[in-house]
Amino acid sequence: MLGKLIVIAALCAGGYWYWSGPYQEGRQPGGEKQLEENARNMKRCIRRETSINATSGMAGGAVESGGAEKLCAEEYGLYLRDGQWHNNTE
C-alpha cells in the first residue's frame, strides 16, 4: 500500500514539474525569444507590405511615411521601445 502511494506521489510530482517547466516554456516563450519572434514577424510583414505597394504602383508611398510599419505594428499588437518590438500586453 505504501509503495503504491509513493509511486502515485512521484508521478504527481513529475507531472507537476513537467507542467510548470518545459510545458509552459513551450507555450509561452521567454522574453528574449518573444522579442526575436516579434522582430521576425515585423520584418516579414513590412517586406510583404512593401511588396504589395510596389506591385500596386504605390512604391515607396506607405514605406516613406511609416505606413507599413504602423500597419504591421497594429496587426501584431506591438509597439517600438528601445529599438525592439514589444507586445502591447507587457
90 pLDDT band (50/70/90 cuts)? low
- Residue 30's domain comprises 2-87
89 pLDDT band (50/70/90 cuts)? confident
Phi then psi dihedrals of residue 60, to 5 deg = 85, -15
What number of residues does the chain have? 90
Please name which of 29, 63, 24, 25 lies closest in space to residue 46, comparing C-alpha atoms. Answer: 63
Residues facing 84 on adjacent strands: 81
Report pLDDT for 11: 95
Question: What rounded mean pLDDT belongs to the chain?
Answer: 83
The residue written with cell numbers 513551450 in the block is 26
Q: Using CA atoms, how far apart are residues 85 and 55, in angstroms rounded to an integer? A: 27
Question: Hey, what amino acid is at 74?
Answer: E
Report pLDDT for 40: 94
Q: How many domains does the chain have?
A: 1
Which tens digits make up the pLDDT trace of 23-82?
777 666 677 888 899 999 999 999 998 888 878 776 555 445 578 899 999 999 999 999
